[in-house]
Amino acid sequence: MARTVTRTDRQRGRAVTIGWLTAAGAAVTGALVATSTLVGAAGVLGLLLLVGAARMDPKRLAVVGLIAVLLSRTVEIAVPWQPTTYLDEVVTVYLGVVLVGGRLLRRQRLRWPPGSLFFAVFVLFGILSSVVAAVPLTIASAGGILIVKGVLLYLFVAQVDWTIDDIGWLARTAAWVLGVALACAVVNLLLPEQWSSIFSVTGRPQYRSVFASLIGPFTHPLQFGNFMSLAAIACAALLLFRARGKGTRTFFVASAAAVVLSFRRTAIVGLLAGLAYLVLRRRHASVLITALLLAPIAAIALFPVVAPVVQNTYNQFVTDGSETARTRLTVDSAALAVEHFPFGVGFGRFGSAIARDYYSPEYVRLGYEGVYGLGSAGNPNNHGRFLTDTQWPAILGEAGAVGALFFVLGLWAIFTTFRRASRAAELPLSLLGLVGLGWMVHILLESLAYPVFVTSPTSPLLFGLAGIVAALVAGTRPPTDPVPGRPQVGSGGTGSAAPPGSPGPGALSRPSSRSARRRELLRPWPDTTDHGRHRA
């Protein structure tokens, strides 16, 4: 029979977790202090943070951790302290130790979210490729950690027992984060030089004509544009499916305007793609007719602006593709996958930040020193800032064709989880699924021009939301065994068993007709203020 986890069990498990973490951290800190004062100080601070993390509510810890990973690059640029370089890795480890360790100490089974096995096979092929290609252990391990950080977040966040009632305060937290980001954008707009000198990775603003590209609370305009694009897609999901809250329309307009002011075409195109997908999912006649009527007018009005951009993009990536970083990396990664089939060149050897920092011998062999944006750090006439300008060369080139296939299957499993959630009877969960679907469309399109699965903001937002939705979907399945002392809710009223073959009270059942599904989506947002009735 299923075991009921009571409040006492959770408190006892948390106390045991804190005790073990304190003992282990004290031993490590003592060794670090004996080795170096600076490293020891960092160790003491890390221990205090780890104990504090263990004392936090797991749900709030997961949210704080995701926000920390989201802004880790900003902290690294703004705070001139070497340990901040590893902030996202440290936070990911904290989440793993506390969330996974706490679940094990409470004698609960680990939750393996959809796609976990596919991602594990991808990592296995990356490791085998590194061994076959004789990649040094330090480079291979660093490259492997980089590529799986987002997947680990997905696994760790899914260990939390999220409920439908949590969606309300998660949405409010997201609104606060978005509000702070927009406030930063306003300051950035008014003081571009001063703001960029603190937060920009280049130390100066990037101008488009007389306008500075906004970076907001991030370090690059494309990061800011992607964040605001995802925020606008989330707001659009609420508006299109009539679940709007206070300020949703304002947030949508402000986020969309911020995407435009980032002056990054990939972020703008990703936003349009995500919105188009949601509109098609909505199948609302008035919205579709309005879009069809406005599309020709917009095309005529924007043609003088859009046409040169399209022509320049085509010439850059197709006509002159052999001399363009993204095209060259993509084509060469496919050639390497064929050459080393079924493996790749190994983690840290192609298309990743590690391959850039430790300039890969594959780059030297392929003549990248002479390709604009693909040179080594020691090349006085070139620079390597375009070596991480896209995502798929690292996945395909390092893990090989088979490994890349399993990575795609893992993403497909996440996509199907979002799709299943979008069909849920509970409107909050359905909206989360719709937001995830819109985000997937944007991020997959953006992956052609940005390392979306390893870099903020796309990586923590996508994998964090996927972990939450995966836990919610798993938690809404009907129990296989009745809980002792708790009546079964069915069609016969309280205490009556559900008819054979009928879904449980929280099952993700799909209404039988289109009109029934529409009524389910449009019903009012349930009251989430009374949490007492849901406690064990």
Give yes or no for a contact between 102 and 12, defined as CB atoms under 8 angstroms apart. Answer: no
Residue 483 pLDDT: 39
Angle between the 137-157 and 458-475 helix axes, to the nearest 10 degrees?
40
More reliable by pLDDT, 388 or 512: 388
**Residues paired with residue 490 on neighbouring β-strands, in sequence order:** 493
Residue 33 buriedness (CB in 10 A; 0-12 / 13-18 / 19+) = middle
Angle, alpha carbons 418-422-426 (nearest 5°): 125
List the structure tokens of 383: 């620079």
Residue 137 pLDDT: 92
Give yes or no for a contact between 100 and 63, defined as CB atoms under 8 angstroms apart. Answer: no
Banded model confidence at residue 247, pLDDT cuts 50, 70, 90: confident
- Between CA 145 and CA 46 the distance in angstroms is 20
Question: For the residues 71-94, what does the mean pLDDT come to?
Answer: 85
The H or E element containing residue 368 is: none
Which residue, among 424, 491, 407, 360, has the nearest Cα to 123 in the 3D structure? 407
Output DSSP code: residue 527.
Answer: P
Residue 212 phi, psi dihedral angles, 5° rounding = -85, 135
Which residue, among 429, 434, 459, has the nearest Cα to 446 in the 3D structure? 459
**Tell me, what amino acid is at 299?**
A
Residue range 259-301, pLDDT digits in tens: 999 998 889 989 999 998 888 887 665 555 665 655 666 556 5
- Between CA 10 and CA 31 the distance in angstroms is 32
Question: For the residues 471-492, what does the mean pLDDT come to?
Answer: 52
Residue range 113-145, pLDDT digits in tens: 999 999 999 999 999 999 999 999 999 999 999
The neighbour count for residue 423, using CB atoms within 10 Å, is 17
- Between CA 285 and CA 245 the distance in angstroms is 23
Q: What is the C-alpha R_g of the chain?
A: 25
Residue at token pair 């009571």: 6
Residue range 416-439, pLDDT digits in tens: 999 999 988 888 899 999 999 999
Q: What is the pTM of this model?
A: 0.78
Give yes or no for a contact between 93 and 71, defined as CB atoms under 8 angstroms apart. Answer: no
More reliable by pLDDT, 377 or 272: 272
Question: For the residues 507-532, what does the mean pLDDT come to?
Answer: 43
Largest CA distance in the chain: 79
Residue 467 buriedness (CB in 10 A; 0-12 / 13-18 / 19+) = buried
Residue 530 pLDDT: 39
Q: Is 479 left (phi over 0), alpha (psi -120 to 50) or beta?
A: beta
If you average pLDDT over every residue of the chain, what do you get?
78
Banded model confidence at residue 534, pLDDT cuts 50, 70, 90: very low
What share of the chain has pLDDT > 90, as a percent?
Answer: 43
Banded model confidence at residue 202, pLDDT cuts 50, 70, 90: confident
Residue 215 pLDDT: 93
Residue 516 pLDDT: 52
Residue 265 pLDDT: 85
Q: DSSP alpha helices (H): ranges in 217-324? A: 221-240, 248-261, 265-282, 285-314
Residue 500 pLDDT: 39
Residue at token pair 């949490």: 531
Percent helix, percent strand, percent coil in the chain, to nearest 5: 70, 0, 30
Question: For the residues 507-529, what does the mean pLDDT come to?
Answer: 44
Residue 403 has pLDDT above 90, yes or no: yes
Residue at token pair 């991602």: 119
Banded model confidence at residue 312, pLDDT cuts 50, 70, 90: low
Residue 440 has pLDDT above 70, yes or no: yes
Of 75-89, 353-367, 398-412, 430-444, minimum mean pLDDT range: 75-89
Q: For residues 330, 334, 340 and 343, what is the CA-based torsion angle, rounded to 10 degrees?
A: 80
Banded model confidence at residue 504, pLDDT cuts 50, 70, 90: very low
Residue 333 pLDDT: 92
List the structure tokens of 117: 């096995």
- Domain residue ranges of the chain, discontinuous segments joined by +: 1-110, 115-480
The neighbour count for residue 504, using CB atoms within 10 Å, is 16
Angle between the 458-475 and 58-70 helix axes, to the nearest 10 degrees?
160
Residue 349 pLDDT: 92
**Could you tell me whether strands 207-208 and 211-212 are parallel, antiparallel, or unpaired per DSSP bridges?**
antiparallel
- Between CA 196 and CA 212 the distance in angstroms is 10
Q: HEC string of 406-456? A: HHHHHHHHHHHHHHHHHCCCCHHHHHHHHHHHHHHHHHHHHCCCCCCCCCC
Which residue, among 357, 77, 333, has the nearest Cα to 219 in the 3D structure? 77
Termini Cα distance of the chain: 17
- Between CA 79 and CA 520 the distance in angstroms is 49
Question: For the residues 457-485, what does the mean pLDDT come to?
Answer: 76
Residue 27 pLDDT: 57
Residue 19 pLDDT: 59
Residue 380 buriedness (CB in 10 A; 0-12 / 13-18 / 19+) = exposed
Residue 494 pLDDT: 35
Residue range 6-15, pLDDT digits in tens: 656 666 666 5
Give yes or no for a contact between 261 and 229, defined as CB atoms under 8 angstroms apart. Answer: no
Angle between the 392-422 and 137-157 helix axes, to the nearest 10 degrees?
10
